[in-house]
Structure 1
Amino acid sequence: MRLTDQQLEQFNDLGYIFLPDVFSAEEVEALRAEAEAVYASPREEVWREKSGAARTAFAAHRYNEAFRILGAHPRLIEPVEQVFGEKLYMHQYKVNAKAAFDGEVWQWHQDYGTWARDDGMPEPRAMNISVFIDEVMPINGPLMIIPRSHRHGVLNAGHDLETTSYPLWTLDKQTVTDLVAEGGIVAPTGKPGAVLMFHGNLVHGSAGNITPYPRKIVYLTLNSVSNYIRTPTRKEWIAHQDFAPIECVADDALLQFARQRAAGQHAAE
C-alpha cells in the first residue's frame, strides 16, 4: 500500500494521516479475539491499570501469531518505508486496551521524547502506526492529537511516575495550552480496521474510558534501520534491540489466519 502525494503532504503539514478502511471486519475480528487472549495471560509483558484491568500488552508480535503477522503487514510497513525511504525494524509493539469503565488516561506527551531520553534514539525517524481493533468513538477515550505540534521538535517534559501505572514523559499544562491555541485538537474516530499514522514528535494523549465500550488499538513503533537505538535503558521487550529489517508477509496473510482460526473453532464445536 502506497500513500498518495496528497497524503504525504498532509503528513508533513499536520503530522498525521488517518486511513479509515485498511483492514476488513474478518481480519479485525481475529485480532480482537487474540487481544483478549493476550490480556488474559499472566505474562510480564501485559501491563495493568491500578484496577487490575489490562492497560497494554508489549511485544505481542513475539508470542502471538496474529500480531506477528500484523507486525509485518505490507499495509502498515510499506507506507512508513515510503515516508523514511529505507527499511524499518520494530522498536516497540503495544496492544493498548483502554478497558471499558477502567481504561485510564494517557497524559499529553510526545513519543520521540521518550525514545530519545530512555532509549537513545538519535533522530525522530520513527513513528507510530496504529490499528483500531474496536470502534473508536468520541466517548470511549479516543486518541487526541494536536495538529502541527511536531514542528516544534522535542519539547521539555517531566517524568510522571505517579498518575498511572505507566511512567511517561509528559508536557505541562501551559505548553499544551499554547500548542492547542496554535493547532487545535483532533480526535480521529472510526470503525475497527482503520489506521492512524503520526509523527514521533506529534503531541497526543487520551482521556479515561468510563463507558461500557472498550477501545483496543494496536501500536507498531517502526524505526528506520539506520536510526537504531544507542543507549537503551528499558527492558528489551519494551524497547527492542533486534534491529533486523522487517520482511513483509503476503497481503492476505492475516485474512488466511482469520479463516483458519474460524475453521478451527467451527470444527471444535
Structure 2
Amino acid sequence: MTATTPEPEPALPIPPTWPVTPDPRAASIEHPMDRYRTRTVAAVPPIDRDDPAVWGEVTTPELAAFDTDGYAIFDELLNPAEVADLAAEVDRLAGDPELRGDERVIVEKASNGVRSIFEVHRLSTVIAELVRQERIVGPARQVLGSEVYIHQSRVNYMPGFSGAGFYWHSDFETWHAEDGMPAPRAVSLSIALTDNFPFNGSLMVMPGSHRTFVACQGETPPENYRESLREQQTGVPDRTALTDLADKHGIAQFTGARGSALLFDSNLLHGSSNNITPFPRSNLFLVFNSVENALDTPYAAPAPRPGYIAARDVVPVR
C-alpha cells in the first residue's frame, strides 16, 4: 500500500455543505429502526459508527491492523498457477456470447465493453470451489465473528486505455439504503487477477474512514441499480466530507502482483481512477456478510435490488 494523490474525477453535482436547515420531508423516507440515515432530502452530517469493526477474535497476522485501518493485505493469497486458471475463467465469462444479454453482465457506457459480471460464484464452478476454501472465507469469519454467506460476488474488468473508474463511495451506504443491510457487518475480498500498478486504476482507500458513516443526499430512483452499476450518481458522498476524511486519514492505494488480495470493511471509503494505460486490470470481489446481519427491507429505496446483486438466501459458506 502506498500513499498517492488521485487524478481528478469528472465533476459531479455538489450538495450543500453543513449546517443545513432540516427539511421536514426527510423524515418521511426514514426506516423506523434506521441508525444510519442516508439518501435524505436534506443534507445529513457524517456520524461516528456505533458498530464494531471487528466482531470476533482475529488470529491471522495480516488482520492485526484491521480494526484501526479497516483493511488488510494478503500479498500471496493465490499462487501463479491458481491465478492463471482463475484469470482464464473470468476471461471465458466475459467472452461468452450467451451471457452477453444476461442482466448479471454490466457493460461500459462509452465502450460497450464488459464492466462487471455479478453472481460469478454461481456462474463458475472454479469460483464456487475457491469461495469455500478456508484461506478465502476464514479471515471474513474472524472479522465478522460468525458464520458468513455470500452477499455478492462479481468480477470488475478495467481494460487498457478505456477502463472507467469507480467514484468514491462506501459499499455499506448502498447496501444499507438499497438492499436493507442493517449494520456494517460485512467485508469484501478483492483478489487481483492482473498486476495492480499505481497507474492502471488500482483501488484507493481512506484508512480509518470505516469508522465514519457518510450519509448521501438525494432520494433513490426506482431501479437505480440499472444506472448506478454503470456509473454511480446516487449514493455519492459530499465533497466536503470526502475532503475532511482525506485530510484526516490520507489516501492509500492497493497495488501488488496478481494473486495478492485486499480484505476491507464494508464502510471503508474507496474508489479508483480511469485506466488510460495499456495495462488492463481485473479483480474478483467476494462479499461476505454475517449470517446475523441478514437483509431487511431497503432503508432508503422503493424496492430491493435483484438477488444476483444482493443475496437474500442466508446460506453459510461451508
What TM-score, normalized by structure 1, do the two folds share? 0.86
Q: Which residue of 1 aligns with 2:104?
A: 45
Which of 100, 116, 137 aligns to 1:77? It is 137
Q: Is the 8 A contact 1:104 1:164 kept in 2?
A: no
Structure 2 alignment gaps of length 5 or more: 1-56, 299-303
How do 1:87-98 and structure 2 match up within 5 A? 87-98=147-158
**Alignment length, in residue pairs?**
246
Q: Is the 8 A contact 2:205 2:271 kept in 1?
A: yes
Q: Which amino acid aligns with 1:112?
A: F
Q: Which secondary structure state, in structure 1, belongs to the residue aligned with residue 268 of structure 2?
A: coil
Task: Answer with 6-15 or 60-69: which moved more.
Answer: 6-15
1 or 2, which has the higher helix percentage?
Answer: 1
SS at match of 1:18: strand
Unpaired runs of 5+ residues, structure 1, are 248-269
User: What residue number does 2:18 align with?
Assistant: none
Determine the C-alpha separation between the residues in 1 that align with 2:211 and 2:200.
29
2:293 equivalent to 1:222: no
2:211 & 2:190 partners in 1: Cα distance? 21
Q: Give the Å deviation of 1:70.
A: 2.2
What is the CA distance between 1:72 and its match in structure 2?
A: 2.0
Instruction: Report the secondary structure of 2:258's partner residue.
Output: coil
1:187 corresponds, among 250, 253, 258, to 253
- The answer to whether the Cα contact below 8 Å between 1:125 and 1:224 also exists between their aligned partners in 2 is yes
Asked if 2 retains the 8 angstrom alpha-carbon contact of 1:49 and 1:164, the reply is no
Partner of 1:199: 265
C-alpha displacement of 1:5: 6.5
Secondary structure at the residue paired with 1:97? strand
Distance 2:141 2:113 in 1: 35
Identical amino acids, percent of aligned pairs: 37
- 2:116 aligned residue: 56
Q: Which amino acid in 2 is paired with 1:19?
A: F
The structure number with the bigger radius of gyration is 2
Q: Are the aligned partners of 1:112 and 1:154 in contact in 2 as well (CA < 8 Å)?
A: no
The change in CA–CA distance for 1:70 and 1:6 in structure 2 (over 3 A counts) is closer
Which sits farther off after the overlay, 70-79 or 15-24? 70-79
Measure the CA separation in 2 of the matches of 1:154 and 1:246.
30
* Alpha-carbon RMSD: 2.0
Give the structure-2-normalised TM-score.
0.73
Distance 1:196 1:8 in 2: 11
